[in-house]
């Protein structure tokens, strides 16, 4: 994998929808990929001089079930297993193509497949993959610690090789990252046993207290410097509930006190300037809960900043404050 300068973010983008919703308790995220396309994501990226190939939405209708023993406390395990196996293989193919893959969700359980496939590619290329987890939640539960059994809350733990979901990928190679390669950012809701596990693993976490105290610039710069020092590359896993519900109401697990519109744009702009981003998830957008597409449009604007759109290029973001305020 070659280095990528901020003036040449590979110039090719591969978009793949993963309309999975059963990893969460609130239905509706299966409409997320369509909402992002409708809000103009592909048009925006093409306007930034990227060659964008839309691979459509993934389907697992014809994927056979495996016969491993399903772990306890894993709701909809068998169907999620089909999604993760399929998505991991497709993510690996897209990463191998040299394009920047953008995975449109869907709930956060999809990251168990998307990141695994990208990490497999990076491992073969001799590069460390770091994962920036922009999320209100740590998603570091396991079947042994989870309260709800919802698998979108186990995705980060699975990526770091935590036990309990060892058969999830079937014969698909598992490419776990070390816990030092996971960067939780914007966290403000963690379960007790989950927190104990995070502390034991010494996972890096920039919670909203740190962001309130230092702003977003200091902790995101720390992440960037860490990845650069280890000659790594970065996957951004962007859960829409990273944003404050006042900015992005269209999610099923809103937590007050999230990132503001401007803070989120600064994060994305700094990530773009770093030249480190090689793959992206956009997850947990629930159009059923949105206000006339406001959240989808805001997310598209943020992805624009991640891929190089400048303030002087951006229309006045009237949708960020809502049409009826």
Q: Which of 241, 244, 263, 290 is catalytic?
A: 241
Sign (positive or negative) of CA dihedral 251, 256, 131, 168: negative
Tell me the two tokens of residue 60.
């697992």
- 284 a catalytic residue: yes
DSSP-derived letter for residue 128 is P
Q: Which of 183, 263, 284, 301 is catalytic?
A: 284
Q: Which of 21, 76, 107, 152 is catalytic?
A: 152
Dump the DSSP string for 258-325.
-B-HHHHHHHHHHHHHHT-EEEEEEE---GGGSSTTHHHHHHHHHHHHHTT--GGGSPP-GGGT-TT-
- 135 a catalytic residue: yes
Q: How many helices (H) and strands (E) does the chain have?
A: 10, 8
- 152 a catalytic residue: yes
Q: Which of 21, 107, 191, 239 is catalytic?
A: 239
- 239 a catalytic residue: yes
- 200 a catalytic residue: no
* Radius of gyration over every alpha carbon of the chain, rounded to an integer in angstroms: 18
- 213 a catalytic residue: no
Q: Which of 107, 139, 191, 281 is catalytic?
A: 139
Beta bridge partners of 103: 16, 281
Of 297, 286, 278, 202, residue with least CA distance to 237: 278
The catalytic site residues sit at 108, 135, 137, 139, 152, 239, 241, 284
């Amino acid at each position: 994998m070659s280095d990528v300068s901020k003036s040449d973010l590979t110039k090719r983008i591969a978009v793949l929808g993963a309309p999975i919703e059963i990893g969460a308790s609130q239905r509706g995220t299966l409409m997320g990929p369509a909402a992002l396309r409708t809000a103009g994501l592909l048009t925006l990226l093409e306007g930034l001089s990227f060659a964008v190939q839309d691979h459509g939405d993934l389907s697992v209708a014809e994927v056979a079930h495996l016969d491993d023993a399903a772990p306890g406390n894993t709701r909809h395990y068998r169907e999620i297993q089909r999604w993760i196996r399929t998505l991991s293989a497709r993510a690996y193919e897209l990463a191998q193509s040299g394009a920047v893959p953008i995975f449109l969700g869907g709930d956060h359980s999809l990251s168990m497949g998307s990141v695994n496939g990208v990490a497999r590619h990076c491992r073969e290329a001799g590069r460390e993959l770091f994962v920036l987890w922009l999320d209100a939640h740590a998603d570091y539960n396991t079947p042994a610690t989870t309260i709800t059994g919802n698998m979108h809350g186990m995705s980060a733990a699975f990526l770091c090789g935590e036990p309990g979901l060892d058969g999830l990928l079937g014969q698909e190679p598992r490419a776990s990252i070390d816990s030092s390669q996971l960067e939780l950012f914007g966290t403000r809701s963690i379960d007790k046993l989950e927190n104990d596990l995070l502390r034991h693993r010494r996972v890096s976490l920039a919670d909203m207290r740190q962001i309130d105290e230092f702003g977003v610039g200091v902790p995101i710069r720390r992440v960037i410097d860490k990845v650069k020092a280890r000659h790594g590359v970065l996957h951004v896993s962007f859960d829409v509930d990273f944003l404050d519900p006042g900015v992005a109401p269209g999610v099923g697990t809103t937590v007050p006190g999230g990132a503001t519109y401007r803070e989120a744009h600064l994060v994305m702009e700094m990530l773009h300037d770093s030249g480190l981003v090689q793959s992206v998830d956009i997850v947990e957008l629930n159009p059923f809960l949105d206000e006339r597409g406001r959240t989808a449009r805001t997310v598209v604007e943020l992805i624009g900043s991640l891929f190089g759109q400048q303030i002087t290029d951006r229309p006045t973001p009237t949708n960020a404050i809502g049409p009826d305020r």
